[in-house]
Amino acid sequence: MADDKFRDPQGGGSLILAWQATNKTVLIVGGGAVAAGRAFNALEADARVVIVAPDINAELQYRVDRGQVSWRSRKFEDTDLEGADMVLTAIGDADESRRIVGVCRQLRIPVNAADINDLCDFWFMSTHRDHSVQIAVSTNSKAPRLANRIRRQVAAALPRGTGLAVEQIGRLRKRIREADPKPENSKRRMAWLMQLCDYWPIEQLANLDSDNIDSLLEAYVRNDAPQTITIAQDSVSVSSSDGVPSPVLHGQLVPDSVISAQPLNGKRGKLTLVGAGLGDPELLTVRAHRALLEADVVLADKLIPEPVLGIIKCEVYTARKFPGIATEAQDDLYRRGLEELAKGRHVVRLKQGDPFVYGRGGEEILFFRKHGYEPEVIPGLTSAINGPGLCGIPVTHRGVADQVLVLSGADRNGALPAIPQHLATRTLVILMSVKRLSQITQLLGQSGHPPDLPIAIVERAGCPDQRTVRGTLETIVDIVDRVGHNAPGLIVAGFAVNVLSDAAIEDRYLDESTMGLHSTE
């Protein structure tokens, strides 16, 4: 039995499922506007639709005339239920609806009675459909009109081409299964496709054509990692001997010397290094926003949130930095940047947070300076300071914390950070570290940090779904194991973590019944 704390106090609990309706028979009792709407939904799901009603409206008559639905021109009879997989009543006679529901229950046929919520085995939700993508919003039949509004807002936030991207991935997935059908290779297939789905921009997936899918299939067969494959609108990449994609112009490999020293059209390119901040476009600086609008091409880190990418009007090329090939991916960005600069284009290198706080911004300036380009730098808000601040955690506070130390969860070789001995007035902010939380907490304990030291995991700061998970050095690992983690995130350790929490919250963050969660909204 489910714990009572998860039950809707109004008795409106429901389980959202996607019902496979293809070639199933949906019986609709009624012939008015509501019945017509139900018929449209069922037909969209490829169901067989049977209408039972003495009269039907013009929309249903249109569908009958074209053979889309069957019509039994009379009142409902119990024998109509034979062969029905689902029943929908849409009539004004509440007593008859109740009787039909009772017969359906005896025959174990799922049934929905329009406007009689207590009789329904299920409800229709407010849905958005884009190709194979379906998004449904349910209010458990309490506020259908508000569900429509919520659905419109959710749909408006989707990246451009979401439905088409799903269709293209479906085509590629089918081709891969046909080329490599062995059950023992299912994990390989899933892992390979997962990298495409998780890290390639939705817009790029939507633009895949048959030739691109053929190329991706060939790459899978060769066991090439998806992050080493480049498919752009106006250029193609091929793998060089060291496995790093090299730029191609007009079918010829372009040497670095040509890219850096010989502009192809006599116009020298411009490079701008931009910090994207925390994920909310409204937190971009005015100068950063202007640079993104003026760019000819944007080279973006893979973790740049969709809302920021959404304001960009030009081509976006996304870095494919995965564990184990970060250096190769960085080289790929360098090559692409030089190629675009050689065309005389304005290239914006878009980095998460601030480019100079664990963003390799200095390295990139030195690289492009070596090739004759001096980047303009536009700073961004760093998550190290502003991430905790957005979640109600000041990294310094008079009388509590007078210094802050920012660390990375791993150096370039993957080693854990060197954590200094505990100092009560210091706040530690550890970036890119939540996946190694257990090891980090062990290091903190070994360096003298007390078991009751407040710890916060700040997730997706600046995004609509930002979250703070609170605990102590002793409890935080178990709490995160229970509630999960939404990347990207960082660790904040120190007594400043709870300085803005009121007494109730301060007591709650240790209470396991709250699972360590603290809303930041």
Catalytic annotation, residues: 115
Nearest to 245 by CA among 318, 332, 367, 337: 332
Q: Which residues of 426-454 are buried (b: 16+ CB within 10 A; e: fewer)?
A: bbbbbbbbbebbeebbeebbeeebeeebb
CA angle (303, 488, 286) in 5-degree steps: 55
Rounded CA separation 328/291 (Å)? 27
Q: Which two tokens stand for residue 361?
A: 């911004």
Which of 27, 43, 40, 165 has the alpha carbon at shortest distance from 84?
Answer: 27
Going by C-alpha positions, the residue among 260, 220, 225 that lies closest to residue 243 is 225
C-beta separation of 309 from 205 below 8 A:
no
Phi-psi domain of 394 (left: phi exceeds 0; alpha: psi -120 through 50; beta: other): beta
Residue 103's contacts (CB-CB under 8 Å, 6 or more residues apart) are 78, 81
Rounded to 10 deg, the angle between the 326-342 and 361-370 helix axes is 40
CB 401 within 8 A of CB 493: no
Angstrom distance (rounded) from CA 58 to CA 422:
77
Burial environment of residue 519 by CB neighbours within 10 A (0 to 12, 13 to 18, 19 or more): exposed
245-249 vs 126-130, strand pairing mode: unpaired
Sign of CA dihedral 497, 501, 503, 509: negative
Q: Are 300 and 320 in contact (CB under 8 A)?
A: no
Is 270 in contact with 284 (CB distance < 8 Å)? Answer: no
Question: Backbone phi, then psi, for 410, in 5-degree steps?
Answer: -160, 145
Q: How far apart are CA 193 and CA 84, in angstroms?
A: 39
Tokens read off for 38: 């139900």
DSSP 348-408: EEEESB-TTSSS-HHHHHHHHHHTT---EEE----HHHHHHHHTT--S-BTTTBSEEEEEE
Interatomic CA distance for residues 408 and 427, integer angstroms: 14
38 CA to centre of own chain:
31
